[in-house]
């Protein structure tokens, strides 16, 4: 992935909307990518910028797998749009909501690297977020699960923002540096979403994993609650996911 990449530089402004700014869009089922990077090299988006969203890849097909791939951008890097997806040993870089969408996806052994601007000591500024999941109903079986991942980089960021009312994200066995803000999660400034989101953490580690000051609606999952999110069965992988070869 260090030597081969698909690159473009559209933004929401230049393409007619965030969803159309992707350097690559995948809508077919059974897509597989191995050892390649997807990049959007538009100018770095700053918090509050209008129309600066710039997607590296949009994945809207079912049963897509990515092995050892890189995803590079700032705001809205990876549009994990819809379907069942699997990411293994991938490198995902961004700043604001850099993994977003309404897919049901498992991320295993991935590096999640924030490019948000460093925050001066003493300021409580939050200038990024890893995820913005878009589940709109409790009847939707969608959500992002991160297992054995690492979160690092710069800035002070959230684990997730509730882009839609039933947003669902889980982090398990994941190492988090102190760039994670103590509250961890945000309801997108809609307190009604506190009752409907599903944000869970399970046996995570590192300075950013301390749950003492987490948002009150964040869950510290027990073994039973976490079990269904921890392996490829979460995305029905036994039905379609092929071993890496």
pTM (whole model) above 0.95? yes
Give the chain's domains with CATH numbers. Answer: 5-45+57-178+188-240 (2.160.20.10)
Task: Read off the pLDDT band of 210 (50, 70, 90).
Answer: very high
The pLDDT of residue 155 is above 90 = yes
Active site residue 97: yes
* Per annotation, catalytic residue among 81, 97, 102, 187: 97
Q: pLDDT (tens digit, 9 = 90+) per residue, 63-83?
A: 999 999 999 999 999 999 999
Residue 10: closest CA among 48, 57, 59, 46: 57
- Is the predicted pLDDT of residue 45 greater than 90, yes or no? no
């Amino acid at each position: 992935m260090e030597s081969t990449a698909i690159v473009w530089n559209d933004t929401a402004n230049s393409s007619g909307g965030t969803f159309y700014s992707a350097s690559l869009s995948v809508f077919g089922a059974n897509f597989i990518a191995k050892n390649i990077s997807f990049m959007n090299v538009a100018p770095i988006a700053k918090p509050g910028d209008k129309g600066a969203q710039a997607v590296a890849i949009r994945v809207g097909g079912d049963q897509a797998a990515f092995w050892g791939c890189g995803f590079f951008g700032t705001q809205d890097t990876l549009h994990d749009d819809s379907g069942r997806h699997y990411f293994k040993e991938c490198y995902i870089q961004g700043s604001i909501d850099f993994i977003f969408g309404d897919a049901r996806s498992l991320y295993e052994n991935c590096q999640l690297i924030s490019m948000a601007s460093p925050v001066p000591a003493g300021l409580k500024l939050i200038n990024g977020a890893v995820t913005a999941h878009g589940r709109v109903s409790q009847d939707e079986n969608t959500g992002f699960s991160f297992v054995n991942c690492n979160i690092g980089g710069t800035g002070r960021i959230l684990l997730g923002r509730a882009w839609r009312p039933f947003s669902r994200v889980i982090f398990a066995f994941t190492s988090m540096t102190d760039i994670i803000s103590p509250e961890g999660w945000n309801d997108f400034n809609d307190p009604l979403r506190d009752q409907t989101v599903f944000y869970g953490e399970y046996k995570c580690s590192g300075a950013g994993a301390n749950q003492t000051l987490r948002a009150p609606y964040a869950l510290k999952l027990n073994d039973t609650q976490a079990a269904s999110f921890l392996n490829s069965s979460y995305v029905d992988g036994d039905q379609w996911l092929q071993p890496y070869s």
